[in-house]
Amino acid sequence: MKQPKILLVGASGQLGTALLEELRLFSTVAGTYHHVEKQGLIHLDIQNQDQINRVISEVRPTIIINTAAMTPVDKCEELPELAKSINVQGHFSLAAAAQKIGAKLVFISTYYVFDGTKGYYTEADFPHPLNTYAKTKLAGEQITMQAPGSLLVRTSKIYSLGYDQRNFLARLITQFKGKEQIKITNDQYTNPISTEDAATAIARLIATESSGIYHLGGPDNLSNYEFALAVAKEFGFDTQLLKPLSTEQFGAAALRPKRCALEIHKLIKRINFQPRSIENNLSKWKPQI
Ligand SMILES: NC(=O)c1ccc[n+]([C@@H]2O[C@H](COP(=O)([O-])OP(=O)(O)OC[C@H]3O[C@@H](n4cnc5c(N)ncnc54)[C@H](OP(=O)(O)O)[C@@H]3O)[C@@H](O)[C@H]2O)c1
């Protein structure tokens, strides 16, 4: 493959930061930020068509990867018009710009597009989103699949150590260290994947010129409460701080799916990659806590 020229939209985010590093190993990459300015990144609000046109005419990418999204799920429920503006209209504008210059479109979506009644969803399963965030992401998927040769990666929950408080592992550690009581659901299951592994897998899908839908997730299927217990056990935090609740007791603004692990056989076969277990990652990170 000729060295691709990639525009990575959302390079300041949790996944985008890790993906930028991986993509640089085999391509020229320009990354963008929105509010969180980072050195070397270009400012872009995907709600602004003029800004999109300007960035694209400067970068002239052969691949456009959209990792940008309004991700706080309850905020999307409270501000649905803003969620649609960023997650649907913003992505539509990027897709239209990609089509104009013949660039490949890559979109990152979520396990939340499923309703959580089945678990271990495959790429052939039918989405049925329960909340506004997931509905906007599904609309983004539909836009993506209309673009010839596009790649759609649905990932389960991603976790990493060194990111900001939008990452649930970082929030958990702050709460444990602050000795706060931590209310956490015990009936929402998925197979989380580390941000690093997610970035490696997505970069390999791109490097192998993959297209279509791929699911991405880790080897452990567990609830948020079980994840927090594993964190407490590995890092020596007080498990008594955890207050497990059902989804109904928790009462968040947005509904969440309950059994939403993603089946990843198609991905493993395509790129020969096995994501690491939670235990493996946490023990690797322990010296940094
Ligand atoms: N986190 C998860 O567990 C998870 C699970 C499944 C799927 N996903 C999907 O994976 C992707 C990355 O998630 P993440 O956790 O890395 O999200 P994140 O940390 O919240 O980052 C979101 C990124 O989007 C950018 N952004 C937000 N609004 C924008 C706008 N109007 N114009 C341009 N950029 C904008 C942000 O820029 P600034 O930070 O500079 O404002 C940031 O770079 C998202 O598409 C998300 O739906 C995430």
3-state secondary structure of 70: coil
Task: Classify residue 230: in a domain, yes or no.
Answer: no
Residue 212 has pLDDT above 70, yes or no: yes
Closest ligand 1 atom, CA of 14?
16
In angstroms, the Cα distances linking 83 to 34, 136, 183, 188, 289 are 15, 7, 26, 23, 34
Q: Is 127 in the pocket of ligand 1 (CB under 6 A)?
A: no
Q: Where are the strands (E) in 67-161, listed by range?
A: 104-110, 151-155, 158-159
Residues 13-32 pLDDT 10s: 999 999 999 999 999 999 99
Separation of alpha carbons 289 and 286, rounded Å: 5
Identify whether the C-beta of residue 262 lies closer than 8 Å to the C-beta of residue 191: yes
Separation of alpha carbons 57 and 97, rounded Å: 10
Q: Mutate which of 7, 8, 9, 14 to test ligand 1's pocket (most atoms within 8 Å of Cβ)? A: 14
Question: Considering only CA atoms, which of 39, 44, 108 is closest in space to residue 71?
Answer: 108
Task: Classify residue 39: in a domain, yes or no.
Answer: yes
Q: Is 217 in the pocket of ligand 1 (CB under 6 A)?
A: no
Q: Is 225 in the pocket of ligand 1 (CB under 6 A)?
A: no
CATH of the domain at 28: 3.40.50.720
Q: Is 191 in the pocket of ligand 1 (CB under 6 A)?
A: no
| Residue ID of nearest Cα to ligand 1 atom 26 | 68
Residues 219-275 pLDDT 10s: 999 999 999 999 999 999 999 999 999 999 999 999 999 999 999 999 999 999 999
- Mean pLDDT, the chain, rounded, equals 96
Q: Is 35 in the pocket of ligand 1 (CB under 6 A)?
A: yes
* pLDDT (0 to 100) of residue 166: 72
Report the DSSP beta bridge partners of residue 65.
8, 106
pTM above 0.75, yes or no: yes
Task: Classify residue 172: in a domain, yes or no.
Answer: no
- Domain total in the chain: 1
3-state secondary structure of 163: coil
* pLDDT (0 to 100) of residue 23: 97
| Residue ID of nearest Cα to ligand 1 atom 33 | 45
First and final C-alpha spacing in the chain = 41
Task: Classify residue 255: in a domain, yes or no.
Answer: no
Identify whether the C-beta of residue 139 lies closer than 8 Å to the C-beta of residue 255: no
Angle between helices 14-23 and 195-207 (to 10 degrees): 50
Which structural domain range is residue 25 located in? 5-165+191-219+260-277
Residue 144 has pLDDT above 70, yes or no: yes
Burial class (CB in 10 A: 0-12, 13-18, 19+), 174: exposed
Task: Classify residue 284: in a domain, yes or no.
Answer: no
Task: Classify residue 229: in a domain, yes or no.
Answer: no
Identify whether the C-beta of residue 141 lies closer than 8 Å to the C-beta of residue 184: no
* pLDDT (0 to 100) of residue 1: 63
Q: b vs e for 201-240, b when ≥16 Cβ sit within 10 Å of the residue's Cβ?
A: bbbbbbbeebbebbbbbbebbbbbbbbbbbbbebbebeee
Mean pLDDT of 61-67: 98
For the chain, the farthest-separated pair of C-alpha atoms sits apart, in whole angstroms, at: 56
Q: Apex CA 212: angle with CA 96 and CA 93, to 5°? A: 15
Task: Classify residue 271: in a domain, yes or no.
Answer: yes
Task: Classify residue 127: in a domain, yes or no.
Answer: yes
